[in-house]
């Protein structure tokens, strides 16, 4: 049975625990799990020498003291970059090796060319039951499903245009979850956002919420007002979120 199939709300550290530590660093991932998160969400790209590294952007400019596109750099070059707090850019192997075997790992594929390597690494670490592959790129999810019929898949929603395709994609890809930005509340308004989640619920998919702006979870008690309409919360600050979820449940 997949480790994702539980009856309670799962909490994942967004790029680790970026409220407090350098994003997508081993320190951020370890501290998220120490704080009580069920696991972490991270982003992967392929390097010039076909290594899978953990990095959100297409370049290392924003999050390190170096600049350049990771696809044009080797792992050795990339690991000279400093993320802050003495952290280096980790590989996916580093993360799977470092985190407890109980920790869930939501791997967002930014680069379709990374799919086969990501699946190879998951297999090598016997991590299929605790890994989710998520992406905005439907073709990346299709390729993942062609290569592995069992792995947990999550479709990331960037805007409303994808919504009409979800019923078909759910069946075609055997989607586990649709991963929705909580920031949709700012775009749609609370009631329309809630209606969209209810519609997704009716399709029988799990709902994962993720933030661009973390505070939207807490503003006007938005998350509390969505109680029962989400299964996973991806958060910049797992400790704060876990305390808030306890309040919601009490």
Tokens of 19: 């409220």
Q: Is 202 exposed, middle or buried (0-12, 13-18, 19+ CB in 10 A)?
A: exposed
For this structure, is 14 an active site residue? yes
Within the chain, residue ranges assigned H as helices are: 26-34, 75-78, 92-98, 115-124, 138-147, 166-173, 184-188, 190-203, 222-225, 238-249
Given the residues 56, 110, 170, 206, select the one marked as catalytic: 56
Q: Which residues are paired to 134 by β-bridges?
A: 108, 154
CA dist 24 and 43 (Å) reads: 8
Given the residues 3, 13, 14, 236, select the one marked as catalytic: 14
Q: Is 250 helix (H, G, I), strand (E, B) or coil?
A: coil
Q: Is 62 helix (H, G, I), strand (E, B) or coil?
A: coil
CA dist 250 and 247 (Å) reads: 5
The number of residues in the chain equals 250
Task: Work out whether strand 177-181 and strand 152-156 pair parallel, antiparallel, or are unpaired.
Answer: parallel
DSSP tag of 129: G
For this structure, is 56 an active site residue? yes
Q: Is 142 helix (H, G, I), strand (E, B) or coil?
A: helix
Q: Is 241 exposed, middle or buried (0-12, 13-18, 19+ CB in 10 A)?
A: buried
Active site (catalytic) residues: 14, 56
């Amino acid at each position: 049975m997949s480790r994702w199939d539980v009856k309670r709300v799962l909490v994942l550290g967004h790029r680790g625990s970026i409220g407090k530590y350098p994003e997508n660093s081993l320190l951020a991932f370890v501290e998220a799990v120490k704080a009580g998160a069920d696991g972490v969400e991270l982003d992967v790209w392929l390097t010039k020498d076909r290594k899978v590294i953990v990095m959100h952007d297409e370049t290392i400019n924003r999050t390190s003291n170096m600049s350049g596109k990771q696809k044009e750099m080797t792992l050795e070059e990339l690991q000279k970059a400093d993320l802050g707090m003495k952290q280096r850019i980790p590989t996916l192997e580093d993360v799977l090796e470092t985190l407890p075997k109980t920790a869930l790992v939501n791997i967002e594929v930014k680069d379709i060319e990374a799919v086969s390597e990501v699946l190879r690494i998951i297999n090598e670490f016997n991590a299929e039951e605790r890994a989710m592959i998520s992406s905005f790129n439907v073709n990346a999810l299709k390729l993942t499903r062609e290569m592995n019929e069992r792995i947990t898949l999550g479709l990331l929603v960037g805007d409303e245009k994808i919504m009409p395709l979800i019923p078909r994609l759910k069946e075609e890809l055997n989607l586990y979850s649709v991963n929705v930005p909580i920031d949709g509340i700012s775009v749609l308004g609370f009631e329309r956002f809630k209606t969209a989640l209810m519609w997704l619920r009716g399709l029988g998919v799990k709902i994962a919420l993720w933030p661009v702006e973390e505070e939207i979870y807490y503003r006007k008690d938005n998350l509390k007002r969505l109680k029962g309409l989400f299964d996973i919360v991806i958060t910049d600050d797992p400790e704060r979120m876990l305390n808030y979820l306890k309040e919601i449940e009490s």
